[in-house]
Amino acid sequence: MHTFLFNHIALSVKDVDKSINFYQTVFQFEEIKNTASNSKTRWLSIGEGKQLHLIPRPDFEIKTNKAVHFAVSTINIDAFVKHLLELKIDYSDWIGSKNKDYIRKDGIKQVYFQDPDNYWIEVNNDF
């Protein structure tokens, strides 16, 4: 049997500088060196050795839907939601109710919002 660990997620983005600013402002992710190449792809550490790679594709059409998302967890989701509101970033529950959270059947609270390229992000308190 093989053993796997999650390593990174890579997203194609229109404006890598704008995306870097977004992820650093919203999540305080630290930019780290792209050790794979000399390309303009920029990397962010999301903690515990996991990474977010932002690949500049200014001419690509990026299509997304909420079912395709990534999720991060935080201990204090209420403080994070307040942070989103201070940044004037709208969030929603799964069905799209504006500025409303959702509590799953298992008791986990979650919210969804989008980055500058309209990728969906879930933040929950499954910490």
Q: Hey, is 60 helix, strand or coil?
A: coil
Please tell me whether residues 27 and 51 are part of one structural domain.
Answer: yes
Please tell me whether residues 49 and 21 are part of one structural domain.
Answer: yes
Task: Note the pLDDT tens digit of each residue in 23-80.
Answer: 999 999 999 999 999 999 999 999 999 999 999 999 999 899 999 999 999 999 999 9
70-93 as b/e: b if 16+ CB within 10 A: eebebeebeebbebbeeeebebbb
User: Tokens for 9?
Assistant: 């997620």
* 91 and 43 Cβ atoms separated by less than 8 Å: no
What's the one-letter identity of residue 95? Answer: I
In this predicted structure, what is the pLDDT of residue 18? 98
* Cα 69 to Cα 91: distance, rounded to the nearest angstrom: 14
What total number of domains does the chain contain? Answer: 2
pLDDT grade for 99, boundaries at 50, 70 and 90: very high
The CATH number of the domain holding residue 88 is 3.10.180.10
> What domain range is 17 assigned to?
8-56
Q: Where does a domain end: 34, 56, 78?
A: 56
In this predicted structure, what is the pLDDT of residue 55? 98
The dihedrals phi and psi of 103, each to the nearest 5 degrees, come to -110, 115
